[in-house]
Every structure is written in structure tokens, then in C-alpha cells.
Structure 1
């Protein structure tokens, strides 16, 4: 049986526990969480993945029920798949791939630095990104940002230009949790030239602690350098952190623990990485 790293880990934990799916469903109900046996079956087979806020809460409870370390399952969840109407999916696919910053043939992402701010309740409150692009053709003057927030129907974050860019057209698909926005450069760049922009994604309301405790990027092309920082606000210091990387051709993610530094932050760096997913998880 195939599936994802998450489904394989869940399937193995269920087998080790000796609990049937109906019994696990009953244990979840004791936690005040309603999940059908069919959904549990789909999760462990890889046919579906937990994406909604209620499902993320269920995964957190499953870690307790199956006596797994906190984050053992959540840290393996793959990126959410697009939802919404078929027309909205086609529109997004026509302009950008979800969670990628490298969708243009005439321009390449050569460096990216994400700083993710975690509020006191454990949810992400803001992400500041500094990106460096290199032109592969003359007259490059914009970048298409595709950003997916955790949980469908959630209010899209507020996108703010900080340096060397302005905001052009913006489209939001609330059902798919997808925001598409043009970042317009201050001036066009030609072949071989580089350009740096900085922007921020801020939440009008901080997501609650039941959101997925991870920040990641999916790269569809190799990137020379990706630096990811996660800063934990007062009262939100996690008990454990880890970085994880899953190259496109890998069945299982590679992970290693991270230590919170004196500034209450962790960081991880990927060099010459991609295609694949790279991120930091915490619990």
C-alpha cells in the first residue's frame, strides 16, 4: 500500500496500537471531535488528507490516542490540495502553481528569506519575505505571488509591499484558501540583472492554536538559497522544533531537530534545493 509519509505513519501507528477504526472514532468523540470511520480510512490509505481546521485538531488528538510524540503526524502532513470550483482551480493553474514563487519562465527566484511570526496563542500572525529574482529575458517587471493559507474559508491575509514593489491585481479564492497577487517591480530588469523585493502577509486576526504548527514552501524549480526563520512571541515557545525537507522524488521527508535560540527563534537553510518542500514544524 502506498500513500504519503503522513498516511504511512498513521497506518503504522494504528496497526501498532491494536485499535480498530471504530474504537479510534469513539476515542476522538471523547475529545469532542467528530470524524467518520470512512475519513479515518481515507487518511491512512492516502486517498485523502486532513486539511480543514477541525481535521487538524483531529490529527493532534490522534497523536495522543496513538501515544505518539507531539507533532509526529502533523509534521508529515503534505501541503493542502486545491479546493473550490473547477473554474477557480483552472484560473489558478493558468497563472501560478500553489505555494510556489517560481512560476515565470522569464525570471528565476535565486534567494528567499521568510520570517514567520508566531503570536502568543501559537498561531501565525505574519510572514515577512525578502526575495531576490534574476531575469532570464529582457523587460521583466513583475512577479506572481501564490499563497495558500491554512484552512478553507479563512480570511485571506493582508498583503503589504515593503520594499521595491507595489501590488497589482489580486484575486482571492476563499474556498481554496488561495491568494494570487502581482508584485510590480519599481522598474523592468533585463537578462542577467537581479532585483530584490520585500513584502509581508499579515493576519487581521491571529489564527488560533489549532492551526497547523508549521511553515513551509513548495518549490517547483531548484533554488540556490532558502532561509526560513520562525520567531515565537511571548508565551508561545514550543517544546520541540524540527526542520523537514521532502524532495520531489523522495517517498519520505528528511527531518532533524532544531534548538530555539536566545532570541526565541529557530531557523533552517536549504542550499541548492528543489523541486520539493522545505519547512519548519513545532509542537
Structure 2
């Protein structure tokens, strides 16, 4: 997560994206020999505005289009990629279309302008302009995985620098992308406390206001820490990702496993906004955690992925 208006999707709060669109789109791009930047430029010439991050997520399968605006982009992509009309729409599959006019993948700075539900909540809370107020220098995300394979809690430590006088709050937007059965908790543990909240369980949207200990003067820095309580999922988790919506000086994702149940294989990775993915395998025979760290990064994704040993009699949590 990065920038001022932090927006993330926690794994386990959102169903996995369909893989079919990713396959069709990746193959079509490869066949045409187009980069994501060239594709975005071609879309812009046709009056369609979409970020590199969004195209990257569609191509990798991390997200799928879920609104009228996004489906208009798919129709335009059919033309650019020399596909039959409706090919990409059909590849999304059933049950992925939201009400007309909804577009889940706008840039953070456009949330208020486009009428996004999160943008409306931010505006109502007076948080719509905080994006321009700070520079994010550091964020460390630590997530605990128990012996059942469930991600039980996430602790975030962040350092920001004020770009103007009076910075005294930070927003956190959690967009699950589907209805939630319970409220995800957020607790300020050091340097901040939870202020106002906006909760829409049906939309899977939670907006939190984090209040700093005191207003900052321009150039001053503040370090604060908060904890997010994660909801259980039906299956053991195999990935944790943190989306940096904007440039961050340093990002670290630290996934910590119960020593009683360690992954069989694991890797740490980053995905740039243009789709470039870099991954490094980790030997879990000599480690109980995974660390993915990168400097001067964003927009993009930082994360870790793993597989569990084949279940057998006596395996914890099985």
C-alpha cells in the first residue's frame, strides 16, 4: 500500500480473479507484440483512459473488470488486439459484472471525481485532498499465518513526511470487492488512533480515518503503526500481496508462519505497473518467514506466495 490515500485488497476478503481473461489478454498482447504502455496509448487515442496498473492486473489475473467503464475498455481492446467483438467480455465469465456505471479500478486520485463509493466516503470525511499533503518514505507490513494456514492479523508501520502544514490524519481504504460477513477491525497501536469509519458490508468497503498524535509542520516526519484484524477464509492462504498505489521510498512485506506448519515451497515477488514480475525462491527448510523488500517502488505490488505440504495424517490444522 502506498501514497496518501491508501487502498488495498486483503487476500481472503476478495474471491480470486478469473484466470480466463488473463490468458486471452496475455496471448493477444503477445501475438500483436504490444507492450502495456503501447496498449494504454492506443486506448487513449480511442478516448479510453486506463492506468498501466489496471492493465497489468488484468493481464496477470490479479483482478478482473467489474464495471461499465471497464467493459467499454475491453471492447476497445478487442479492436486494438484484432479480436472478434465481445471476445474479452466473454472471457471474464459470469457473475463478474457490477451495476452500470461502476468502475472498481480508478486511480486513487480520481476516486472523488469519478463518484467512486470510496471517493464519496473520503469526501464526506474531509479526506479527499490528503494525497497531496504527504510523501510516503517507508512502509513495513507484517502478517501472521497460523498453523491452519489462515492469515490472522496484519501490522503496518509507516513513516510519512508532511509536504504542507497541518497534516494530522491518514486514510485507509479496504475494498474487498464482494460482500463481507464481518467488519474488519483497525486499531492504532503507536503514533495514531482510529477516528471516523465508513462501513458498507454489502459493498465490501471500509474506510478508516487514522488520527496522528499531533499536526505536522511542513518537512516534519511521523511514524505510526496500526493493526488490521483479518477475516478467516474457508481454505488455507497461499499468498499475501500489498498494493502500492503510489511511489514509496521503501516497502517491506514480512510474512511470518507458525513453526508447527511451514510451507513446502515459497517465493517473494514484485510486480511493476507495466506488468514486469520479479520473483525469488526462498528455502523454507531454514526459515519461518518470508521477506519481500524493495526501495523506490510503486505503483505496483509487493508480496509473497507459497504452497503447503501434501496433507497427511497428523498434519496440524488438517
| 1:147 positional shift | 2.3
Across the two proteins, how many residue pairs are aligned to each other?
213
* Matched residue, 2:8: none
Given the superposition, is the C-alpha separation of residues 198 and 280 from structure 1 closer, same or farther in structure 2, using an over 3 Å criterion?
A: same
Given the superposition, is the C-alpha separation of residues 244 and 209 from structure 1 closer, same or farther in structure 2, using an over 3 Å criterion?
A: farther
SS of residue paired to 1:104 = helix
SS of residue paired to 2:140 = strand
Given the superposition, is the C-alpha separation of residues 209 and 45 from structure 1 closer, same or farther in structure 2, using an over 3 Å criterion?
A: closer
* Matched residue, 1:92: 118
CA distance in 2, matches of 1:139, 1:6: 45
* Matched residue, 2:13: none
- Paired residue for 1:266, among 285, 290, 297? 290
SS of residue paired to 2:117 = helix
CA distance in 2, matches of 1:231, 1:45: 25
Measured on the aligned residues, the alpha-carbon RMSD in Å equals: 3.7
* Matched residue, 2:229: 202
Given the superposition, is the C-alpha separation of residues 198 and 239 from structure 1 closer, same or farther in structure 2, using an over 3 Å criterion?
A: same
**Which has the higher relative contact order, 1 or 2, with Cα contacts under 8 A spaced 6 or more apart?**
2
| 1:103 positional shift | 6.2
Contact map agreement 2:264 2:284 (CA 8 A) in 1: no
Contact map agreement 1:122 1:208 (CA 8 A) in 2: no
Question: Residue 188 in 1 paired to residue 203 in 2?
Answer: no
**Structure 1 spans left out of the alignment, 5+ residues:** 13-42, 52-80, 97-101
Question: Residue 238 in 1 paired to residue 263 in 2?
Answer: yes
Given the superposition, is the C-alpha separation of residues 84 and 135 from structure 1 closer, same or farther in structure 2, using an over 3 Å criterion?
A: farther
Given the superposition, is the C-alpha separation of residues 103 and 138 from structure 1 closer, same or farther in structure 2, using an over 3 Å criterion?
A: closer
Given the superposition, is the C-alpha separation of residues 45 and 241 from structure 1 closer, same or farther in structure 2, using an over 3 Å criterion?
A: closer
- Paired residue for 2:142, among 115, 125, 135? 115
CA distance in 2, matches of 1:50, 1:225: 30
**Structure 2 spans left out of the alignment, 5+ residues:** 1-17, 28-57, 67-95, 105-115, 124-128, 308-318
Deviations 1:219-258 (CA, angstroms, capped at 9, x unpaired): 12211101111011244311111122111122x4222212
* Matched residue, 2:23: 8
| 1:86 positional shift | 6.4
Contact map agreement 1:84 1:173 (CA 8 A) in 2: no
| 1:140 positional shift | 0.2
Contact map agreement 1:150 1:211 (CA 8 A) in 2: no
Given the superposition, is the C-alpha separation of residues 44 and 158 from structure 1 closer, same or farther in structure 2, using an over 3 Å criterion?
A: closer
